[in-house]
Amino acid sequence: MRKIEKSEMIYSKARNLFPGGVNSPVRAFKNVDSEPVIAEKGKGPYLYDADGNRYVDFILSWGPLLLGHAHPYVVEVVQKVVSQGTSFGLTTEWEIKLAEKIKEFMPHIEKLRFVNSGTEATMSAIRLARAYTGKEYVVKFNGCYHGHVDYLLVSAGSGVATLSLPGTPGIPEEVVSKTLVLEYNDIQGVKELFEKYGSQIGAVIVEPVAGNMGVVRPVDGFLETLRSVTDKYGAVLIFDEVMTGFRVSPGGAVEKTGIEPDLVTLGKVIGGGFPVGAYGGKKEIMEMVAPEGEVYQAGTLSGNPVAMAAGWATLDYLQKNLDKWHKVVEKMREFYEKSKDRIRGATFVQEGTMFTMFFTEREPRNFKEVSQQDKKKFSAFFNYQIEHGVLIPPSGFEANFLSLAHTDVLDLYWENSVKFFNSM
């Protein structure tokens, strides 16, 4: 039985200071009947809470820690940079180093702009796409979360789905009136929507592999259809790779699918654990951004040297150790193959270093199917894992993440999973 006394005391203080005691909703663990974990430190694949409990961590700060916690190489680089100053509000060489490293993985990004979050990246990309096309409508997909931008916070997944909140409280109807929503993987719906609104659609934004309703894969032809209709009607295709970048494949979704978007948004991994985001893509579109063009976007802390250095160190290490990326991916698949006959009433989905255990009879293809999963069983599964030393996201609508440090600790997740399903 894990200890929680100190964590409870800390959370009690937090409730008097923050809404719900947290600074991001999913951290409250409300839907799994559990007290929230109060993190204290991490090392490699492990997270330690305020009471000293150790967990194999599959949250990994919701994705950015591709190398695991406190990786020595990242820590060394960050300590050196932070000793020279934390922020200048001016250009530093670290911005160039990180941008060049990103382009080595993703050469389709001809120019990019650093920002401070994934939300900022998607907001800026949409603004740019509308300016480039001169069209106002934006298409998104039910269950795909692109940050808490007003006009994109409609039919979102992840935290909104977990808390069963409506998509637009506090947001005037006219703000979302130019946002068109379809089901993920609805190829026919895409074609019909463009036949009706094509001349008014400026952008389509999509997670090329959905991660904010759990890991939901694109069906054959879905992304190809998005590319063909946006080409036909002159809309900008935006891949939101804040979550999938460097995770579904080292080169992101483009490397995996062969389908190239016009713009891409990045975050998570490229900050190595620090707040960061980016948007980029075709040169002729990006050249519309100020000061080169007239589309204004700015940020005092954009390109922060500490975040840039942490991101560069993460990607540099990944680039030199791609064998470790592939090893942890394959080992997770091997464990699943050995265990799948004992997993009943659930479906395991893995794409690269992202995975989800859905409590559904078959692999979900859209948010409606994800929403039909057995939430009580997921809650029981979560609590079984955490009581036996494994920390997974406290929501059936979130992706789990692997790091390069997880190769030798994956067995505990599967041992717990098999025991849980045997006990049902």
328-347: pLDDT as tens digits: 999 999 999 999 999 999 99
Beta bridge partners of 239: 206, 264
197 contacts 191 by C-beta, under 8 angstroms? no
The mean per-residue pLDDT over the stretch 400-415 comes to 98
Phi, psi of 418 (to 5 degrees): -65, -45
pLDDT in tens, 255-308: 999 999 999 999 999 999 999 999 999 999 999 999 999 999 999 999 999 999
The Cα 243–Cα 401 span in angstroms is 10
For the chain, give every domain's residue range. Answer: 5-70+321-423, 72-319
Supply the pLDDT for residue 159.
43
Phi, psi of 162 (to 5 degrees): -60, -40
409 contacts 65 by C-beta, under 8 angstroms? no
Q: Using pLDDT thresholds of 50, 70 and 90, give the confidence band for residue 56.
A: very high
pLDDT at 162 over 70: no
Supply the pLDDT for residue 105.
98
Most distant CA pair in the chain, distance: 62
Residue written as token pair 């959370």: 11
Which is more confidently placed, 112 or 157? Answer: 112
The arrangement of strands across the sheet holding 390-391 comes to 39-43, 46-49, 54-57, 390-391
Q: Using pLDDT thresholds of 50, 70 and 90, give the confidence band for residue 167.
A: low
The Cα 341–Cα 337 span in angstroms is 8
pLDDT at 156 over 70: no
Task: Report the candidate in 27, 42, 225, 236 with the shortest Cα–Cα distance to residue 127.
Answer: 236
216 contacts 373 by C-beta, under 8 angstroms? no
Helical spans, DSSP H, in 246-354: 252-257, 283-286, 305-320, 322-339
The Cα 266–Cα 112 span in angstroms is 10
The mean per-residue pLDDT over the stretch 165-175 comes to 63
Token digits of residue 20: 């719900």
Q: Using pLDDT thresholds of 50, 70 and 90, give the confidence band for residue 243.
A: very high
Q: What angle do CA 292, 295, 300 make, to 5 degrees?
A: 80
The residues, ordered by sequence, that sit 6+ positions from 157 with a Cβ below 8 Å of its Cβ are 142, 143, 144, 145, 210, 212, 213, 367, 370, 397
Assigned CATH for 72-319: 3.40.640.10
- In eight-state DSSP terms, residue 270 is G
The mean per-residue pLDDT over the stretch 118-142 comes to 96
DSSP per residue over 346-368, as a string? -EEEEETTEEEEE-SSS---SHH
Report, at the CATH architecture level, how domain 5-70+321-423 is classified.
Answer: Alpha-Beta Complex (3.90)
The mean per-residue pLDDT over the stretch 345-351 comes to 97
Average model confidence (pLDDT) for the chain?
94
- Catalytic residue numbers? 145, 240, 268
Q: Using pLDDT thresholds of 50, 70 and 90, give the confidence band for residue 158.
A: very low
DSSP per residue over 133-170, as a string? HT--EEEEEET----S-GGG-SS--HHHHHTT--S-TT
Burial category of 337 from C-beta neighbours within 10 Å (exposed 0-12, middle 13-18, buried 19 and up): exposed
pLDDT at 228 over 80: yes
CA dist list (Å): 422 to 263, 267, 383, 390, 392: 46, 39, 15, 18, 19
State the pTM of this model. 0.94
Helical spans, DSSP H, in 16-139: 72-82, 93-105, 118-133
CA dist list (Å): 15 to 6, 20, 36, 165, 381: 14, 6, 12, 20, 26
Supply the pLDDT for residue 172.
72
- Establish whether the linkage from the previous residue to 291 is cis, with ω within 30° of 0: yes
The mean per-residue pLDDT over the stretch 220-242 comes to 98
Supply the pLDDT for residue 136.
94
Phi, psi of 249 (to 5 degrees): -165, 150
